[in-house]
Amino acid sequence: MFTSESFIATPPGATVKEQLKDRGISQKEFAVRMGMSEKHISKLINGEVQLTPEVAERLEMVLGIPSRFWNKLEAIFREKLAKVRLQNEISQDLDIANQFPFVEMVRKGWLSEVSSSIERVIELRKFFEVANLGILLGNTCLSRIACRRQALTEKGNFALLAWAQRAKIEARSIPVKTINLDELRDKLPKLRRLTTLDPELFCPELKELLSECGIALVFLPHISGSFLHGATFRDGKKIVIGLTVRGKDSDKFWFSLFHELGHVLLGHVAQADGVTEEEENEADSFAKEILIPTPIFTAFIETKCFSEDSIRTFAKENEVLCGIVVGRMQKEGIIPFNRFNKLKTKYCLRSKNTLPPKDN
């Protein structure tokens, strides 16, 4: 017998067992009469194997009960069993569904607004393209995402899964060439020079340059609880990089981009065991060195001349955004976090294709 909150599915084998009891026939004798193994008869009685039309014909011969009766019992059992399993899966998924930021996902247009908890489960299943939400917890899709986050929490893990799935969906419409890491490495200087451009200019060029290397770049709004700046993962024959514009400061945006490119070039993407703390640090170092090589930065710091003009001049000479210079100086404790912030450009996400500057 199989049960759920609303349904009971009784296998036809239960009726067979009653018949054997009424007639005083053992399962061993019955198996001989049926020309089948005791093991199969046991599974038949417990509903572990299907009662086929052939078995129904044998039951008619042995028990004298028409085969159509057994076939009907089997059909009823299978129908109710499907309902039992569906309801039980829904019940299990309700707990999982509550872990996702459903309301925020609706607000961002990722999901449709629904009124019942069961409809929420169905919406999430369709969004993640899985038969049940438990599948999300039973595979390694989360560990295969290389990402830059400020903190790791269970809530953040569910938010990250939602965010990454949305990035995957949007990346499907972005055509890319075959993945070519050598070409990506060659393009790094050109990608770095884009930092000095206005977003309306660099966004399309950035997307195009990365697509030529097999990378689909997606801009998405930040999702609460994820502590996420960016994430990278493989999806079929392309690499997907998603950026959030979390914090809005341009230096954070560019650092996150080159951090994710570091994961790609350092071979951290799609690892079965996920990304280690050491590998996160390696990606940080990669981003820092690409944006402002340490020897150049150290030479500037040793001048101890930190004025707006000197920072602007250094940034211009090295073809990098002023805000990136300021951000690194703040990060390394050379200047306080409240100094020279007016040299930082602010980005805001208006669409997945553009990141117009908010102010300077």
pLDDT per residue as tens digits for the range 147-192: 555 555 666 788 888 988 999 999 999 999 999 999 999 999 999 9
Q: Give the whole-angstrom CA distance, residue 136 versus residue 238.
A: 21
pLDDT value at residue 248 = 67
When the pLDDT of each residue in the chain is averaged and rounded to a whole number, the result is: 88
Lowest mean pLDDT among 109-123, 212-226, 306-320: 212-226
pLDDT value at residue 144 = 62
Whether the Cβ atoms of residue 317 and residue 328 lie closer than 8 Å to each other: no
Residue in the block written with tokens 């399993």:
85
pLDDT value at residue 223 = 82
Does 73 score more than 60 pLDDT?
Answer: yes
Q: Whole-model pTM above 0.75?
A: no
pLDDT value at residue 156 = 73
In the chain, where does the domain assigned CATH 1.10.260.40 lie? Answer: 2-94
196 vs 230, more confident: 196
pLDDT value at residue 141 = 54
pLDDT value at residue 190 = 95
Using alpha carbons only, how large is the chain's radius of gyration in Å? 30
pLDDT value at residue 52 = 96
pLDDT value at residue 135 = 86
Q: Which of 42-46, 129-133, 275-279 is most confident? A: 42-46
Lowest mean pLDDT among 181-195, 196-210, 336-350: 336-350
pLDDT value at residue 138 = 63
Does 267 score more than 80 pLDDT?
Answer: yes
Q: Give the whole-angstrom CA distance, residue 299 versus residue 291.
A: 15
pLDDT value at residue 88 = 83
SS3 330: helix
Per DSSP, helices labelled H in the chain are 12-23, 27-34, 38-45, 53-63, 67-97, 102-107, 117-128, 134-138, 154-171, 181-193, 199-211, 250-265, 277-291, 294-302, 308-317, 322-331
Lowest mean pLDDT among 13-22, 330-339, 342-351: 342-351
Does 359 score more than 50 pLDDT?
Answer: no
Q: Give the whole-angstrom CA distance, residue 265 versus residue 148.
A: 15
Lowest mean pLDDT among 51-55, 228-232, 305-309: 228-232
Banded pLDDT at 263 (limits 50, 70, 90)? very high
Q: Which of 213, 249, 226, 212 is nearest to 147 (CA)?
A: 226
Whether the Cβ atoms of residue 346 and residue 359 lie closer than 8 Å to each other: yes
Q: Give the whole-angstrom CA distance, residue 238 versus residue 171.
A: 9
Percentage of the chain beyond pLDDT 70 is: 88
Rounded to 10°, the helix 53-63/27-34 angle is: 110
pLDDT value at residue 292 = 96
- CATH class, range 2-94: mainly alpha
pLDDT value at residue 153 = 60
Count of all residues that appear for the chain in the document: 360
Does 13 score more than 80 pLDDT?
Answer: yes
SS3 35: coil
**Backbone phi, then psi, for 72, in 5-degree steps?**
-70, -40
pLDDT value at residue 186 = 97
pLDDT value at residue 118 = 86
**Residues 146/151/152/156 CA torsion (nearest 10 deg):** -90
